[in-house]
Amino acid sequence: MELFKNTNYDFLGKKWPFIIASLVLTVAGFASIAMQGGLRMGIDFKGGALMTAKFAYPPPLDKIRAAFAKSGKIKGDVSVQDFRDPQAKNEVEIGTELVEEKQLNLNRQAMEEVLAATFGQPGSNKLDFSNASEPALADRLRDALGRANVPMSEQQLHKLAQDILNYRDTPPRSGIITDFTQLSSVPGMNSAIINTLQQECYLAPYHVLQTQMVGPKVGAELRNKAVYATLYALGGMLVYIAFRFEWIYGLGAVIACFHDTLITIGLFSLFHEEISMTVIAALLTLVGYSMNDTIVIFDRIRENLKFSRREPLESVMNRAVNQTLSRTIMTSGLTFLTVIALFIWGGPVLHSFSFALVCGIIVGTYSSVFIASPIVLFWHNYTDKRPKTAPAGATVRRGEQATPKAPAKAAK
């Protein structure tokens, strides 16, 4: 089966609609960023404290907000929102804003306390089973089991506690069980132990999945690192390509990558997605991937130029693009398939990451054809047009170069 045998589309002739489309998208992205007052930053760059909790039922966002507002323990704004990823069922994200480190630590502890006060059973003497750690559970059970005449060595106790918690944490329960009898399938379980659990513990309706706190110092550092990594990566690639091809090809490739990054960020803003350190990782991967595409086309152009010195650059480029079209579509298609799988099934933690990859692959593929090559084309046409309009005193050397400059250097 072959889809693109000997095609002959005039890609570079039709470049204008795509360039205009790119410009429109870029402007739309910037407009969106401007209107929303900046990009949505994740905690990595924004700083602050963040707690993700999973509820046994759809979380009552208003009730949670009210609880935090009433408690007065936390200085600054508290944001409460749920996740848009369908795999994050009943999960809620509670965030406090960035303040200096000491206060931030207090805020973070206060978040746990307010949740416990609102949804837990702080008055009772029981252990919160949904949020217990292994040592806490073992401690609690040790004396209680002794009193219930269930013989157990220290080692057995720890293993039992660990097994119970493992059972609680694996999907589909993922931290929430609704009844202690669900634990009967845990190895070593019996009804006496379940009774003890019922007496000593209660099941809070929420389970804290993760907490994060990023102080202003670390936030600033991460922002710097993100910027440096991006700049250095782009720079490194420019150097490598300028080394393997002519410098204008390097510039064209870098501009195309830059364009990809800008549009992807714009799309992030348009779709209200969050930017975190992993998103930067995705963006840099995209830059690498877009370079790949561009290089494949440039390689072909260089190879074709070796054999056709008289042909105008535009038609050589067109031929190169057509020849590599099959490969480009296949590769993009296959990579796109894997990335879409990540986006659909990869879960909420990777959501922004896979979104960046999905957008980036689409944009990256078309930028190699419709942005990178035209730039090189424009440049060569511009520099080659000048001798024709130059005054009589133009050097002979310039006049001789009626054909593109590329061949001389392409034979490297």
Partner 1 sequence: MKKNLTARSVIIVVTMLICVFGIIDFPKSGAELVNNFNKNIRLGLDLKGGSHLLLEIQVQQAVKADADQTAERLKEELRKQNISWASMDTSDVATVADADNVTLTIKGVPATQSSAFRSMVGERYPNYILTALNSTDYTMKLKPSDLLDLKSDTVKRAVDTIGNRIDQLGLAEKSVQQYGAAGSKYEVLVQLPGVDDPARARELIGTAAVLEICDVKEGPFQSREAALAQKGGILPLGTRLVKMKPRGTGEGEQWFLVGKTPVITGREMRNARAGQDEFRKWETNFNLSQDGGRRFGRFTEANIGNRLAVVLDNQIVSVATIQSKIEDSGRITGLGSEEEAVDLSRYLRSGSLPAGVQYLEERSIGPSLGADSIHQGIIAGIAGLVAVIVVMLVYYKRSGVNAVLALALNTVILLAAVSYFHAVLTLPGIAGIILTIGMAVDSNVLIFERIREELRTGKSVIAAVDTGFSKAWWTIVDTHVTTVVSCAFLFLFGEGPVKGFAVTLVIGLIANVFTAVFVSKTIFDYELSHTRQLQELSI
CB of 30 to partner 1, least distance (A): 25
Cα 10 from Cα 16, distance rounded (Å): 12
- Residue 277 interacts with partner 1 (CB under 8 A): yes or no: yes
Which residue from 124, 199, 338, 401 is in contact with partner 1, where contact means CB under 8 A?
338
Question: Would you say 267 or 295 has its CB closer to partner 1?
Answer: 295
Cα 377 from Cα 317, distance rounded (Å): 8
- Residue 412 interacts with partner 1 (CB under 8 A): yes or no: no
Question: Would you say 69 or 220 has its CB closer to partner 1?
Answer: 220
- Residue 270 interacts with partner 1 (CB under 8 A): yes or no: no
- Residue 110 interacts with partner 1 (CB under 8 A): yes or no: no
Question: Would you say 165 or 321 has its CB closer to partner 1?
Answer: 165
Site mask for partner 1 (CB under 8 A), range 176-195, x = bound:
--------------------
| 364-403: contacts with partner 1 (CB under 8 A) | none
Which residue from 354, 365, 368, 373 is in contact with partner 1, where contact means CB under 8 A?
354
Question: Would you say 107 or 196 has its CB closer to partner 1?
Answer: 107
Question: Would you say 22 or 365 has its CB closer to partner 1?
Answer: 365
CB of 275 to partner 1, least distance (A): 13
Provide the pairing of β-strand 91-96 with 48-55: antiparallel
- Residue 175 interacts with partner 1 (CB under 8 A): yes or no: yes
Cα 41 from Cα 271, distance rounded (Å): 13
- Residue 54 interacts with partner 1 (CB under 8 A): yes or no: yes
| 211-240: contacts with partner 1 (CB under 8 A) | 211-215, 217-218, 222, 225-226, 228-229, 232-233, 236-237, 240
Question: Would you say 16 or 232 has its CB closer to partner 1?
Answer: 232
CB of 72 to partner 1, least distance (A): 21
Cα 394 from Cα 389, distance rounded (Å): 9
- Residue 326 interacts with partner 1 (CB under 8 A): yes or no: yes
| 137-156: contacts with partner 1 (CB under 8 A) | none
CA–CA distances in Å: residue 53 to residues 45, 131, 210, 213, 277: 21, 10, 7, 15, 21
**Residue count at the site for partner 1 (CB under 8 A)?**
87
CB of 398 to partner 1, least distance (A): 32
- Residue 292 interacts with partner 1 (CB under 8 A): yes or no: yes
Question: Would you say 121 or 212 has its CB closer to partner 1?
Answer: 212
Site mask for partner 1 (CB under 8 A), range 17-46, x = bound:
------------------------------
| Segment interacting with partner 1 (CB under 8 A) among 21-29, 108-116, 196-204, 312-320 | 108-116
Question: What's the chain look like in SS3?
Answer: CCCCCCCCCCCCCCHHHHHHHHHHHHHHHHHHHHHCCCCCECHHHHCEEEEEEEECCCCCHHHHHHHHHHHCCCCCCEEEEECCCCCCCCEEEEEECCCCHHHHHHHHHHHHHHHHHHHCCCCCCCEEHHHCCHHHHHHHHHHHHHHCCCCCCHHHHHHHHHHHHHHHHCCCCCCCCCCHHHHHHCCCCCHHHHHHHHHHEECCCEEEEEEEEECHHHHHHHHHHHHHHHHHHHHHHHHHHHHHCCHHHHHHHHHHHHHHHHHHHHHHHHCCCCECHHHHHHHHHHHHHHHHHHHHHHHHHHHHHHHCCCCCHHHHHHHHHHHHHHHHHHHHHHHHHHHHHHHHHCCCCCHHHHHHHHHHHHHHHHHHHHHHHHHHHHHHHHHHHHHHHCCCCCCHHHHHCCCCCHHHHHCC
| 72-91: contacts with partner 1 (CB under 8 A) | 87
Question: Would you say 85 or 314 has its CB closer to partner 1?
Answer: 85
- Residue 341 interacts with partner 1 (CB under 8 A): yes or no: yes
Question: Would you say 32 or 320 has its CB closer to partner 1?
Answer: 320
